[in-house]
Chain A
Amino acid sequence: MAITLTPAAAERVKNFLDQRGKGVGLRLGVRTSGCSGMAYVLEFVDQIGDEDLVFEDQGVKVVVDPKSLVYIDGTELDFTREGLNEGFRFNNPNVKDSCGCGESFNV
């Protein structure tokens, strides 16, 4: 059971947290919504909850709630650039199919 970051993603997250000036880590999760079942959640974490699981990778604390973990276990978070657009991408081995834009997915 683990969530990992690519070096590019880890560097960006550390950078963003520094810029923000507060926050203990990065929350990855899912919630039900969107056009194909589930949607990813990617948020700064100011407070780690009692039930939260914490993974540490390359100096970044990755926080996941146990319910979400079953959907995203084994995910590698990457930071990439597509044309002018840049941002984070979930490389999630559990995904069976996703909607056209990839913002929501099914397992």
Chain B
Amino acid sequence: MALLQISEPGKATAPHQHRLAAGIDLGTTNSLVASVRSGRADTLPDAEGRHLLPSVVHYLADGSHEVGYAARAQAAVDPLNTIVSVKRFMGRGIDDVRRLGTVLPYEFVAGEGGMPLIRTVAGDLSPVQVSADILAELRQRAEETLGGELEGVVITVPAYFDDAQRQATKDAGKLAGLKVLRLLNEPTAAAVAYGLDSGNEGVIAVYDLGGGTFDVSILRLNQGVFEVMATAGDTALGGDDMDRLIATWIMQQAGIGEEVAHGLQRRLLQAACAAKEALTDREVVELNVELDDGTRWQGTLTRAQMDELIEPLVRKTLSPCRRALRDAGVRAEDVQQIVMVGGSTRVPRVREAVAGFFGTEPLVDIDPDKVVAIGAAIQADILVGNKPDDEMLLLDVIPLSLGIETMGGLTEKIIPRNTTIPVARAQEFTTFKDGQTAMALHVVQGERELVDDCRSLARFELRGIPPMVAGAARIRVTFQVDADGLLGVTAEELTSGVQAHIEVKPSYGLTDNEIETMLRDSMEHARDDMEARRLREQQVEADRVLEALQAALDEDGERFLEAEERAAIDAAAQALAEARGGDDPRAIKRAIEALEAASKDYVDRRMNANIQKAMAGHVVDDFE
């Protein structure tokens, strides 16, 4: 019979209605899948008890493929058809990849829309396809382990991933047959794993030292919502570098020259890695390496010696920490919790250095290799509805306001920054000119008042608006941001129902640094922006008044105005046109008021005439 798991009180599901969910850490080197079972989140091992799945896919000529350890073993034998580190190509254009490309053995060809394809014996494959093959393997493991189909998954991505990279990750999930409930930032997932989201507010640092990369993120928690304030790192710094330093030390001790054969080099690195791992719990470790001439070299390495060897690397991680703090505008003592992620944070010297830098003991209770996947699993469990609603979390916010351009090049913010997502907001706009049948919409991102200072995301047109007088059309513009931060904008003319829609295409992503810069600019330029907005608003108003007046004068100016009156109005209009060309909003406003005063009698007469015309031929009853 089926095996059961313990549910939360009142949440036992009916048979065949299990809502199985998993969290996936889709890593550059290794991937993991985790799930919450009987209230406990843990990573799921394969049949051999291995939790990690190497993010490697080996493609064969018959179109089949293998994933994980088996594929990794082929990397040296069949490098062109064994794809490693595919995460680095996700959401990249072919030009980006070529720039990265010097050390990569793969042959890239340009696919549709500049997407890079990797040429293998199994055909040309996109990075999305390769990632999907890794995800499908994890999906299979999860479904076998949990005994059913997955209802949904949460996949983690680096905090610095832009929209294109996020979209590519989502596409890979879809291709693997997964319902991606949400993409979650890796540092946020790590913080969730430690339950830090249950606190109210605070600043959290996530220190992620993996095999080959280092990332540090500063998060701000505010009422259960994490905001990534800053990220920094080094894409070529990690535990592998420690191994190399230790291996070099062994070579010096053993009197081996710098030129060594591949086989020995690999044995040295393996010995170094094993020694490093052993020194996590022990003070001293015995070394025993077989040399090329068949003899063995034996020696000992103490933890103190290793600490000294790796000290330069440890120091090197602290400058990105400093940079991240500076970018986030916080001090080390403001950081309340430090979450350790990545296998290399097991090294005692690393923990010590981090504790010293931030002045707080870092959190290390959860396996640093698994912590991201575990956080994702907890989030997935909540999103599929296995937890009471009051524990439901909103974890991401919009980093910069989203809005559209209005007349005069001003931005109208539709969704303000720091709004939690998913979110939909609508605002109504109208036409500016009589008989206007189309409206150009310009979607922008940023905090500044003028469109020119914001980032342009997309442009589209709403056509087929029925001709009406200016201001009569009602155009509702709806902004919708889904849980992954992807934006869709719809414009609809409400009286006729004509609609236009645009998905804001990826590749417009911003790095956290760019966001920081844009925010800082908006603060620094707040006063200028206010002035600029006031000026533009008055200019737009002036144009509107002048245009309406001209239209009226053309129609019935002769009928209602004496030459003298007409001259006064023309003079006031002329004065307004001049003021409008200047840059003093107050002068424009005064000129508008002067023109309105000059044309008041004229406007009254027109109004009366129009009312009489409208009422002519009706009896009073018609108006009741």
Q: Is A40 an interface residue (CB 8 A)?
A: yes
Q: Is B419 an interface residue (CB 8 A)?
A: no
Contact A87–B7 (Cβ < 8 Å): no
Contact B15–A16 (Cβ < 8 Å): no
- Greatest chain B CB density within 10 A among A16, A31, A84, A99 is at A84
Task: Find A39's partner among B11, B15, B44, B46 (CB 8 Å cutoff).
Answer: B15
Q: Is B1 an interface residue (CB 8 A)?
A: yes
Contact A88–B14 (Cβ < 8 Å): no
- Do A101 and B14 contact each other (CB < 8 Å), given the known contacts A16-B39, A19-B40, A45-B9? no
Contact A46–B9 (Cβ < 8 Å): yes
- How long is the Cα–Cα vector from A46 to B6 in the complex, in angstroms? 13
**What residues of chain B lie closer than 8 Å to A90, measured between beta carbons?**
1, 4
- Do A19 and B39 contact each other (CB < 8 Å), given the known contacts A34-B15, A35-B15, A42-B12? yes
Contact A34–B4 (Cβ < 8 Å): no
Contact A16–B9 (Cβ < 8 Å): no
Contact B146–A85 (Cβ < 8 Å): yes
- How long is the Cα–Cα vector from A90 to B5 in the complex, in angstroms? 11
**What residues of chain B lie closer than 8 Å to A19, measured between beta carbons?**
39-40
Interface residues in B337-392 (C-beta closer than 8 Å to A): none
- Do A103 and B10 contact each other (CB < 8 Å), given the known contacts A33-B15, A35-B15, A84-B47? no
- Do A101 and B38 contact each other (CB < 8 Å), given the known contacts A44-B8, A44-B9? no
Contact B4–A43 (Cβ < 8 Å): no
Expressed in whole angstroms, the minimum distance between the Cβ of B6 and any Cβ of chain A is 5
- How long is the Cα–Cα vector from A42 to B6 in the complex, in angstroms? 5
Expressed in whole angstroms, the minimum distance between the Cβ of B292 and any Cβ of chain A is 43
- Do A87 and B15 contact each other (CB < 8 Å), given the known contacts A19-B40, A20-B39? no
- Do A42 and B10 contact each other (CB < 8 Å), given the known contacts A83-B47, A84-B141? no
Contact B39–A27 (Cβ < 8 Å): no
Interface bits B16-58 vs A (CB < 8 Å: 1, else 0) = 1000000000000000000001111000111100000000000
**What residues of chain B lie closer than 8 Å to A82, measured between beta carbons?**
3
Contact B39–A39 (Cβ < 8 Å): no
- Do A39 and B14 contact each other (CB < 8 Å), given the known contacts A84-B144, A85-B146? yes
Contact B44–A84 (Cβ < 8 Å): yes
- Do A42 and B7 contact each other (CB < 8 Å), given the known contacts A20-B39, A85-B145? yes
**What residues of chain B lie closer than 8 Å to A27, measured between beta carbons?**
9
Interface bits A21-35 vs B (CB < 8 Å: 1, else 0) = 000001100010111
Contact A87–B3 (Cβ < 8 Å): yes
Q: Is B2 an interface residue (CB 8 A)?
A: yes
Expressed in whole angstroms, the minimum distance between the Cβ of A72 and any Cβ of chain B is 13
Q: Is B466 an interface residue (CB 8 A)?
A: no
Contact A88–B15 (Cβ < 8 Å): no
Main secondary structure of the interface of B (DSSP, over half): loop
- Do A43 and B12 contact each other (CB < 8 Å), given the known contacts A16-B40, A84-B141, A85-B147? yes
Expressed in whole angstroms, the minimum distance between the Cβ of A79 and any Cβ of chain B is 9
Interface residues in B102-151 (C-beta closer than 8 Å to A): 141, 144-147
Task: Find B1's partner among A20, A33, A47, A102 (CB 8 Å cutoff).
Answer: A102
Expressed in whole angstroms, the minimum distance between the Cβ of A73 and any Cβ of chain B is 18
- Do A34 and B16 contact each other (CB < 8 Å), given the known contacts A43-B10, A45-B9? yes
Contact A103–B1 (Cβ < 8 Å): yes
**What residues of chain A lie closer than 8 Å to B141, measured between beta carbons?**
84
Task: Find B15's partner among A12, A26, A86, A103 (CB 8 Å cutoff).
Answer: A103
Contact B16–A101 (Cβ < 8 Å): yes
**What residues of chain B lie closer than 8 Å to A99, measured between beta carbons?**
15
**What residues of chain A lie closer than 8 Å to B39, measured between beta carbons?**
16, 19-20, 44
Q: Which residue of B lies closest to A99 (CB)?
A: B15
- How long is the Cα–Cα vector from A42 to B8 in the complex, in angstroms? 9
**What residues of chain A lie closer than 8 Å to B45, measured between beta carbons?**
84
Q: Is A3 an interface residue (CB 8 A)?
A: no
Q: Which residue of B lies closest to A101 (CB)?
A: B2
- Greatest chain A CB density within 10 A among B6, B7, B39 is at B6
* Cβ-closest 6 pairs across A and B: A102-B1, A87-B3, A103-B15, A34-B15, A84-B145, A41-B12
What is B's interface to A at a CB cutoff of 8 Å?
1-12, 14-16, 37-40, 44-47, 141, 144-147
A-B contact pairs, 16 of them (CB 8 A): A16-B40, A34-B14, A42-B6, A43-B8, A43-B10, A44-B39, A45-B9, A85-B3, A85-B147, A87-B4, A89-B3, A90-B1, A90-B4, A101-B1, A101-B2, A101-B16
